[in-house]
Every structure is written in C-alpha cells, then in structure tokens.
Structure 1
C-alpha cells in the first residue's frame, strides 16, 4: 500500500502520459492483432500455415529479406569509408560535410523518391543525356526495376549509416593507431587491428537500424519498383486495400515483424553492455597433408627474416600521410555527397520548367508550376492541413515526450531500458504493421477520419523521437545544479523553470523539430486513419506520384527541399542564443 501511495512522487510517473497514449493507440491494438493472427480463443497457427503454404507469399518474404540485406550491405559499403573520411577531416570541414548529410536525411521521403522518378524515368535526366550524346537509341528501362529500388533505398538510408559511425569515430583516440604504426604495423593492419574494432558499436547500430527499417519499406519499392520487386509491406498494403481480411493481414504482419524481432533479439537487445562475440575463439590450425605442411614451413622460414627486417625498419617511425589515399578519399566523399544532394537539386531546377512537362535541362524558366500550386485549393488545403496536424503533433509529443525523458532519466537503469524500448517500438516496427495496429486502436475510440485521430497516430512515433533527443541532452546534464538551486529554497517547479529547462532547451527544440518533420512526412499511417475524408500534403503527393505525375509536384518538392535548411538554421539559432542563457544559469547557481 505504501508503494502505491508514493508512486505519484516517483519520477517514472512522468512517463505515464506517454505510455498511456502508446498503450491506447498502439499497445492494446497490436496485442489484439496478434490474438487475431492465432485465432484466439481457439489459438491455432492456421493463418500462418496458410501464409507459408503459398509459394508466392514465401517468395515475397525471402525477396524482402534479400532486398533488405543488399540495401544494408550497400549502405555499409559506401557509408563506412564516407564516415571515416568525414571523421578524419578538420573540424570546420567535418561540420560542413555533416550538414550535407543531414539535409537529405531531413528531406521528405516522398521528395527523395520523386526525385529518382524524374531522374530514372524514360524522359529523365539519365536517359535524356544518353540520347543526346547518341549512346542509345531508345530509353533504358531504369525505372520500375530492382536497380531503381536499390538506388532509392540506399539514398534514403545512407545518412542513417554515416551519422552513427561518425559519432563513434570522432571519439576514438587516433594516437592508438599512431602507436600501432610506430610499432611497425602497416596502415591497413593498424586500421584492421586497432581502429575498426573500436567502430563496431556504431557499425552494429547503423546496420541493425537500416535492416529493420528496410524490412518495412513501402513507399520507395512501390514507386520505383516493378511487380517483380514487391516487398512484404506492399503485399500487406494490397491485402488492406482489397479484402481487409484481418486474420490474413495479422498473420502477414507478424511474419514480417517476427523477422525484425529475431534480428533484434540476436544482435540488438543485449543490455548488458557486452557485445557478443568479443571473445576471440582459439585458433586451430587445419590438418595439412605432410607434403603441404613441409612446404608451408619452408615458406614461413623464408618469410620470417623478411618480416623481421621490415618490422625493425618501421619500428618507432611515425605514420606518414599518403597523398594518393587522401585524394582518393576526397573524390569518394565528393561522389557520395553528389549522390545525396544532386537529386534534390535536379528537382529544384526542373520545377522552374516552362514546358508542358518536366524536362532537364529546362527549355525555359517559368513560375507556372508554383502558380499552379498556390492557385489550386486541393494543394493549398492539403498543405494547410499538414501544417495544422504537424504543429499539434509537435506540441503534444514535445510536452509528453519531455516529461517521459525527464522521468526516465531519474529512474533506475533496468526499468528505464524496458520503458524506453516500449516507447521506441512505433519507430522500430515496420511502418505498415504500426499503421494497421493504429487503425484498430483509433477505430475502437471512434477517431478514424478525424484530425484528432491523425494527431494521436502521428504522436506515437513523434514521442519516441522527442524521448531520444531529450534523453541525450539530459545525459550530459549536471544534476548538482538542481540540488544547488533547491538548497537555496527553490521549489521543484521554480528549479525546473529557472535551471533545468534553460539548459536542456536545445534538446527540446530539436525534439520538436523532429516531431514536426515526422508528422509532416507521414504517409503510410495517414493513408489508413484519414478515412478518405482528410487529405494531408504527403497523401496528395503520394496519390499524384502513383497516378498523375502532375508537374505541380515538382514545385511542391522543391519547397519541401528548403525546409531542412530552415530546420537546421532554427536549431542552430536556438543553440546559439541559449549559450548566454546557459552561462547566466551556471553563474547564478553556487557550486
């Protein structure tokens, strides 16, 4: 009884509003969806047997896993060298390169997908260039192919690989590599034996995140791929649109979810702080035939003296920078930045075309498509609806998420980890599964087809972003400042208003921005819970991409490309203006 009496005073109670929204909108519906998949209360696996009994379903499942693995491997292949060069760059250059990576990351997913449609299409940039140079006589079938899907998926996911790796690489002491070089290790050996193992946490996090998100990809494969490139999310969306057999949809959803859960349980849910596989297995020599063993010993003896002389020659010699490798790294990073930024630039240029259709380069420049956007009520009403919903989601998720982050920051580690994982479920589960569960949750409370329902549906993901960002800010917060303020007879509310909030305000503003972006770019959940009565700007763009390809969408996309620049400027100005406030706060609190 005393435990329940003191519960309202415990910090974890601050997470109750966030957990309540999550439980009503997503938690209970996902449990209901699982029970439906097993035919509760009879409890059978007939729906799963029916799914796995059809070869077409199994082929789509394995195709989804294959495409996710390939996209993840390509992100590692291009992301790791890019992050390495960025981390090794001077501070100002590193900041500029990170901005170039963050801008496409914050750009709307629909805009980036649409950019590749206009680049890879029959009248796109690549085919027009090849036709003008006379290299081909007919347009190449680049669009609606597996090739186009991989280009789009890697373009969207690559920043998620680069950013975690850079954050880890910047914190590595480069003197460790220099010490290995001074002991005679070649550059590649020093990198492989010293630097690479230290980057494994960031590589592991980025790989897991990208693979799980690729499993739930829906927009990009549906827009860029053909019928043979369908992923399981597309298959589930087709089931929702055609029959809405809840048992079959639930089974398909949990088959997809089980793949993500298996991968996370094997590699991503180790909370002990120890990485699996850190202990090296004892090496065992293979059993060679006697003749090969003698030949092996001969080569070892011949090479021993050479290795000893080379090791002595390089011993205690500082590592030298190879200009060729530096030049190659600069070219590689420039190519990656071009790949990330060029599609948006192409869309901006094409939006000023004066022709009747989009072309690059434009035959003339005109503002006709911008006039078409502002003169068409269907576009402006959709944009205003998205702004209203985005602002409501940002306010709700910022308030609830900040309370949850503050309460979890003051909770013991085991409970904090469990509750944080629950809050992050909507942004780690495949989006189509979250959309179906959210639809069921809002259907129970009668909010389908309402702005309130869409706000709640978007907020379950936006709260996760706010919790992550504010928690990262609180991790560097010195709680002795609050204790000092309270020792001067400041109450809890006054301490929070005068000490805590000014110091964590940059994190709160960052969480607000990400919450708004998450809502403003949401398509999959909105398509289910809007009930055909509310049209947001992303839904309007998605319908246009799928059916009409109205050139007006180029003007919309070009305006959305500029939003990340405004977000970054707002975050920077908030951080810059908060510096004097933080200094005054720190100076006013006795140490």
Structure 2
C-alpha cells in the first residue's frame, strides 16, 4: 500500500515566492546601474537618432542626411575620418603587438614594473600628450632645433600641421590601449602548446606563427576594433596637429553645436558616426570572430577551407622565417665577433617603442620651469614663476576646484553603481551575464562625441547643462566601463567560500558585503575609484557640451588656452597633471602589491 502525501498548494506557492524573492535580491544590485545607463546612455543615443530626423523647418524627414549626402565636403570628411582611424588602428596594433608579446612572456614582477610606464601615457590627458607633440614637432620645436643644430637640414617647416603629425599624435594616444587589450589574451595562452610544437620538431618561428599568433588573434581583433572606434571620435589631435585637410567628423559636430547652433545637423552627423561604428563593429566581429573573447563557441563555423588557407599561410610564413630566425647578425670588432640574437633585437625594438611612449609626456616638464616669457628650445632654467601664475589665477583655481569636485563625485557614483552591478553579475547565469556586461562596457564602443551630443539633448531639458550634477552624470557614463572591468578582475580572484562561511554563521547580505567582501576587495575598489576619478578629471568631450559658462573644468580651460597660444603656463598645468597621474598610478600599484 502506497501512502501519498499531498503538499498544500499554498506551500508550493510560498516556495516559489521565496525562490523568486531570493533571486530578486541577488539581482537587485544591478538594477540601479541598468536604470542609470538606460536614462543617461540609451535614451540620449535615441535622442540623437530622433534629432537627426528633424528637418530645418521642424518636420520629420531625411533632409539633414540628404544635406550630408549632396555636399562633397562632408563625404571627404567622412573618408578622412575613416582612413585616419584605420591607419591609427593598424599602426597601434603592429607596434603594440611585440610590446604585449614581450610583457606576456616575462615574470609578474617585471611585467608590473613595465606596465607602470605604459599606464603613465595611457592615463595622461590627451591635451597634455598633444601639447607635448606640438612642442616636439613644430617649426621651432625640439626635433627641428636638433636637426638644424646637427646640420641634418638647413631649414625646416616642422612636421605639423600635417597628416603625419595627426597620425603620430593619435598612434601615441592609442598604442597603450592596444597593448592593454592584447595583453590579457596573450597571457591566457598556454605556453605548453608552443613547447609541445618545438618538442615535435617545429622551429620557434614556425611555432609562433602556427600556434601563438592564431591564438592571440582575438586580442588583435579586439585591439584593432577598440582603437578604430575610439579614433572615430577624435577631435583634439586633428584640431591641434592637423590642417584643414585632416578635419574629422567630430570637429564638424562641435562646430555645428557651438558655432552654428544647429543641433539637428549635429545630431545627423552623430547618427552617421554611430551607425558606421555599429556596422563596423558587427562586420568586424563577423569577419574576425571577436565573440571568441567571451568564450562563446559559434554554432555555425566558417568553412574549414577558409580556416585551412589561413593556417597554411601562417605555416608558410613560419617556414620562411625559421631559417632567418636561426641566423645571427654578426658585427666584427677587431678580431672578435659579437652575436646579436633575434630575441635581443626584438627586445631592443620593444624598448624603443616604450621610450617613444614615455619621453613625449616627460618632455613637457622642463618647459614648466623656464625663466623665459615664451616657449623656446632649449628652455632657460630654472624658475617656478609659471606654477605661481597657474596656482594664483582665479580662472585656473576655479577650473581645478571644479575638476576635483566633479571627479570625486564621479568616482563615488561610479564605484557604487559599478560595484553593485559587478556583484550581481557574479550571481547571474552565464546567459544573463553576457548582455549585461555588454551594456556596461557599451560606452567604450560608442564614440564619446556621440554620447556628449546625446547628453546635451537630454540634460538641456532638465536644466542640468552647466552644472556639476550634469558633468558628474556624463562622466559617470564614461567611467562605469572602467570600474566594472577593474572590479570584475577582483571578483574573479575572490574566494567565495569566505562569503559562504559568513552566511552559515548567520551574517546578513549587507553584513557580509561590509565585513568580508569589501575588505578583501579594497585594492580593486580603490583602483576602480582612482580610474574613475582620472576618467572624469581628463575628460574634455563631455565638458565642452555640458560644462557651460566661464566656470569650467581644467581640461576645458586648457583647451580654450591652447587654441590661443602655446604658453609656459600650459606647461606648468601639464606638469601638474603628469605628476598627479603618476601619483595615482603609483598608489594603485602599491595597493595591488599590498593585497598580494
């Protein structure tokens, strides 16, 4: 005889409600971040799409886009924008690949030491880097003066303004991003695969081209895509280092808003840039296979014939390079012979790239201590009068104070939103993590100029333009991706058994976060806070559209001054920013070492 026990329906419903409530509590921390991005990122981008569809007479249509299509100058600017961005991405990946490869092969201590020098130009303001190249490449700059003194040339017109100057400035700005994007993928490649290939008789070069290079191709693809899309929204470098022939679309957007007051045409230009960015993103993903970065395996792979041709090409290149790699260049000095290995030459090339990254940033410092009334090489040292001019000016004081206030507010809000979102993603199913994470990092993909114009549409309706609140909101949109990526790395190393132990002992969710999670992740939280502060402190794009008035931020004040004249005061401001960034990076590195 079987005894059946019937569970009351009310009990079953209570269990379902309890499970639903528990799931809701786990996912609740991500809700504020999703709402924030929905209101201040998705809706502004939608505003751009809507604004671009408004004709000059106020009716809806495609008149603004027809104006772009029938005007040859806009087609030329679009072509210039894409060609410069493509060249920047290509040079950044080619120059950054050996740097990332070498950093992935060294020990952790050596890697961290060299990453400090890469992070310095990475976080240095675009204005400071561009100002440095103006001092180096101008007609009376350092390089021209040295070339004349050595008799290499008899007269010089300088390298700027020109396409070469624009490419130098943009590659210098984007190269650290390419290295930082490729490095994690290269570090994840198992060295035993190459060792196994060499054990089976493959030459080192053949092993590299047939094993390491294909496995690192997702990182190369991601670096090329991020650099390309980021370059589409550039306006600082082409405006200061280029001529009218190098005008990019972001410059037209700024001109349409600030000079022509044509918001609808600016929206149409931003829409074109946004659509092109999205189209290129999906096309690049489809051709190169960028989704493999997330660990996703495609159900429909490309034909094995295409993959076989790719592999055969790499093997062929490896076989060609193998004999060359075995040879050593010899340099006879008297009776002795000095051998230089290919690895040694490779290391020297990487060192040259790192020097080119760092030296332009540091070259600004001597000009801040000049005794002269203007910039000249060599500077007449030694005086601190320009620091006094900078710190004693009410205009600069107001800009510095506002930048610090907005930066601190941005850092606090970004960390609060980013921490909740990252914590919730650790408890989500893998299916839900990918779209949420994609939304969190979407502000990195969308050109910054598009976000700025969209925020101008939205914030002007609420009267937030020209306020610190509006700046904090805009900078938080830009800072959330950096916070989430930084915290995600910390959560991956977190031992969740400690949280389980605290829960078993009766600690509530808030108590576990306050007493277990936060103390153990303090290094990652501090690094995320500092990075969010730097993103806000360095931003110019949002500040141009949202800051408003005379009381502006430090980058906006630098932008206004640098277009008038290259003065020693700007060198003092740039030196102060370099010292601040170096201090922030050093503190972040110290916190990381202390945690380990």
TM-based fold match above 0.5: yes
User: In structure 1, which of residues 181, 187, 207 is the aligned counterpart of residue 198 of structure 2?
Assistant: 181
Q: Is it true that 1:487 corresponds to 2:504 in the alignment? A: yes
- Measure, in 2, the Cα distance between the counterparts of 1:182 and 1:410: 43
Q: Is it true that 1:28 corresponds to 2:28 in the alignment? A: no
- Choose 381-390 or 469-478, whichever is displaced more: 469-478
Q: Is it true that 1:75 corresponds to 2:99 in the alignment? A: no
**For structure 2, which runs of at least 5 residues remain unmatched after alignment?**
1-12, 310-318, 327-338
Q: Is it true that 1:443 corresponds to 2:460 in the alignment? A: yes
Q: Contact (CA 8 Å) 1:24, 1:441: kept in 2 or not?
A: no
- Choose 345-354 or 36-45, whichever is displaced more: 36-45
After superposition, where does 1:170-319 map in structure 2 within 5 Å?
A: 170-268=187-285, 270=291, 273-274=296-297, 280-281=304-305
**Counterpart in 2 of 1:496?**
513
- Measure, in 2, the Cα distance between the counterparts of 1:327 and 1:415: 47
Q: CA deviation at 1:44?
A: 3.6
Give deviations 1:131-189, integer Å, cap 9, x for gaps. 22233333323111110110010101101111232222233232322322232323322
- Measure, in 2, the Cα distance between the counterparts of 1:334 and 1:83: 12
- Measure, in 2, the Cα distance between the counterparts of 1:262 and 1:244: 29
**Given the superposition, is the C-alpha separation of residues 479 and 42 from structure 1 closer, same or farther in structure 2, using an over 3 Å criterion?**
farther
**Counterpart in 2 of 1:547?**
564
- Measure, in 2, the Cα distance between the counterparts of 1:109 and 1:529: 19
**Counterpart in 2 of 1:302?**
none
Q: CA deviation at 1:552?
A: 0.4
**Counterpart in 1 of 2:387?**
370
Q: CA deviation at 1:522?
A: 0.7
**Counterpart in 2 of 1:466?**
483
Q: Contact (CA 8 Å) 1:145, 1:224: kept in 2 or not?
A: yes
Give deviations 1:265-294, integer Å, cap 9, x for gaps. 123474671379775316999xxxxxxxxx
User: In structure 2, which of residues 65, 70, 79 is the aligned counterpart of residue 48 of structure 1?
Assistant: 65
Q: CA deviation at 1:459?
A: 1.1
- Measure, in 2, the Cα distance between the counterparts of 1:194 and 1:267: 22
Q: Is it true that 1:433 corresponds to 2:454 in the alignment? A: no
- Choose 42-51 or 509-518, whichever is displaced more: 42-51
Which secondary structure state, in structure 1, belongs to the residue aligned with residue 258 of structure 2? helix
Q: Contact (CA 8 Å) 1:502, 1:578: kept in 2 or not?
A: no
Q: CA deviation at 1:264?
A: 1.4
**Given the superposition, is the C-alpha separation of residues 349 and 539 from structure 1 closer, same or farther in structure 2, using an over 3 Å criterion?**
same
Which secondary structure state, in structure 2, belongs to the residue aligned with residue 137 of structure 1? coil
- Measure, in 1, the Cα distance between the counterparts of 2:491 and 2:105: 28
- Measure, in 1, the Cα distance between the counterparts of 2:307 and 2:420: 51
**Given the superposition, is the C-alpha separation of residues 178 and 222 from structure 1 closer, same or farther in structure 2, using an over 3 Å criterion?**
same
- Choose 136-145 or 535-544, whichever is displaced more: 136-145
Q: Contact (CA 8 Å) 1:11, 1:408: kept in 2 or not?
A: no
Q: Contact (CA 8 Å) 2:144, 2:156: kept in 1 or not?
A: yes
**Counterpart in 2 of 1:325?**
342
Q: Is it true that 1:417 corresponds to 2:411 in the alignment? A: no
Which secondary structure state, in structure 2, belongs to the residue aligned with residue 354 of structure 1? coil
Q: Contact (CA 8 Å) 2:390, 2:396: kept in 1 or not?
A: yes
- Choose 349-358 or 190-199, whichever is displaced more: 349-358
**Given the superposition, is the C-alpha separation of residues 284 and 214 from structure 1 closer, same or farther in structure 2, using an over 3 Å criterion?**
closer
Give deviations 1:42-71, integer Å, cap 9, x for gaps. 764332222122111111111111111111
Give deviations 1:232-281, integer Å, cap 9, x for gaps. 11111111122232322221111111111012112347467137977531
**Given the superposition, is the C-alpha separation of residues 544 and 46 from structure 1 closer, same or farther in structure 2, using an over 3 Å criterion?**
same
Q: Is it true that 1:14 corresponds to 2:29 in the alignment? A: yes
- Measure, in 2, the Cα distance between the counterparts of 1:3 and 1:385: 48
- Measure, in 2, the Cα distance between the counterparts of 1:549 and 1:391: 30
- Measure, in 2, the Cα distance between the counterparts of 1:154 and 1:284: 33
After superposition, where does 1:321-360 map in structure 2 within 5 Å?
A: 323-360=340-377
**Given the superposition, is the C-alpha separation of residues 351 and 184 from structure 1 closer, same or farther in structure 2, using an over 3 Å criterion?**
same
Q: Is it true that 1:127 corresponds to 2:144 in the alignment? A: yes
Q: Contact (CA 8 Å) 1:107, 1:563: kept in 2 or not?
A: no
- Measure, in 2, the Cα distance between the counterparts of 1:225 and 1:489: 64
Q: Contact (CA 8 Å) 2:367, 2:568: kept in 1 or not?
A: no
Q: CA deviation at 1:361?
A: 2.6
- Measure, in 1, the Cα distance between the counterparts of 2:507 and 2:515: 9
Q: CA deviation at 1:409?
A: 2.3
Q: Contact (CA 8 Å) 1:7, 1:13: kept in 2 or not?
A: no
Q: Is it true that 1:150 corresponds to 2:167 in the alignment? A: yes
Q: Is it true that 1:454 corresponds to 2:477 in the alignment? A: no
Which secondary structure state, in structure 1, belongs to the residue aligned with residue 563 of structure 2? helix
- Choose 275-284 or 402-411, whichever is displaced more: 275-284
Q: Contact (CA 8 Å) 1:351, 1:358: kept in 2 or not?
A: no
**Counterpart in 1 of 2:114?**
97
- Measure, in 1, the Cα distance between the counterparts of 2:582 and 2:71: 48
**Given the superposition, is the C-alpha separation of residues 329 and 277 from structure 1 closer, same or farther in structure 2, using an over 3 Å criterion?**
farther
Q: Is it true that 1:568 corresponds to 2:592 in the alignment? A: no
**Given the superposition, is the C-alpha separation of residues 170 and 434 from structure 1 closer, same or farther in structure 2, using an over 3 Å criterion?**
same
Q: State the TM-score, normalizing by the size of structure 1.
A: 0.87
- Measure, in 2, the Cα distance between the counterparts of 1:544 and 1:93: 40
Q: State the TM-score, normalizing by the size of structure 2.
A: 0.86
Which secondary structure state, in structure 2, belongs to the residue aligned with residue 199 of structure 1? helix
Q: Contact (CA 8 Å) 2:194, 2:211: kept in 1 or not?
A: yes
Q: Contact (CA 8 Å) 2:185, 2:219: kept in 1 or not?
A: yes
Q: CA deviation at 1:525?
A: 0.8
Q: Contact (CA 8 Å) 1:33, 1:250: kept in 2 or not?
A: yes
- Measure, in 2, the Cα distance between the counterparts of 1:283 and 1:13: 44
- Measure, in 2, the Cα distance between the counterparts of 1:283 and 1:415: 31
Q: CA deviation at 1:90?
A: 4.3
**For structure 1, which runs of at least 5 residues remain unmatched after alignment?**
286-306, 315-321, 580-591
Q: CA deviation at 1:8?
A: 8.6
